[in-house]
Amino acid sequence: MLIIPAIDLKDGFCVRLKQGKKEEVTKYSDDPVKTAQNWVNEGAELIHIVDLDGAFTGTQKNLESIKQIRKNVSVAIELGGGIRDIDTISKLIALGIDRIIIGTAAITNPEFLRKACEQYPGKILTGIDAKDGKVAVKGWQEITEKNAIDLAKEAELAGTHSIIYTDIARDGMLSGPNIEATKKIVESLSIPVIASGGISSMNDIENLTKIKKLFGAITGKAIYSGAIELREAINKTRDRK
């Protein structure tokens, strides 16, 4: 299982939100590049970046920080946050971003998701953020009636490379991941699933490794706060990918 450090960008800073609420923000660093380099030095093979301003507005607001991170780290980068048209995807891939995460648009514009997967095979991930099994959109500001598993299956049919599943009730709370919901998503699909939200300890990571075929887990607040040492987590899960 791959351990994936998260870098959430807001106004050019590395931050974490509590349950995705933009008014509940904690700033961890004013140097996103240094943060990314630190995670690579700790053994990260993939970095998960979210442009939070993009998620809330639909337009990338942290492009310069993203460019600088890409220039200064050699590992793969996946990026999400407000990516809602093919032109934006093309520009980001031209910048060297390895994989693009489509979130809100996967539910509001499924044809866009299908076209993106067709044009950039293997490079499109679908981010599914859910609360009580229902999909959240627009930076988690709206909860829809769409079932998360149904959307995951539709995304798989559209050709998405993998699913990033986030339980937003737990994200940034250090309350432990939603093992049951994550397991259901994994068992419903044949494509890779990455878990996100609530990881607070090595015990949580150990519990996630018990989900057969779970590809990876994203951790943010736990590594920023020191609750988890990234190198230790990577080393303990390296042989379970």
Q: What is the CA radius of gyration of the chain?
A: 16
Catalytic annotation present for 129: yes
Give the list of residues 6+ apart from residue 70 with CB closer than 8 angstroms, or none. Answer: 77, 95, 96, 97
State the catalytic residue, choosing from 8, 51, 167, 204: 8
State the catalytic residue, choosing from 53, 129, 167, 171: 129
* Alpha helix (H) residue ranges in the chain: 32-41, 52-57, 63-72, 86-94, 104-108, 110-119, 148-158, 179-188, 202-209, 221-225, 230-237
Strand partners, 48: 6, 78
Catalytic annotation present for 150: no
- Reference 53, options 128, 125, 138; nearest CA is 138
- Catalytic residue positions, numbered: 8, 129
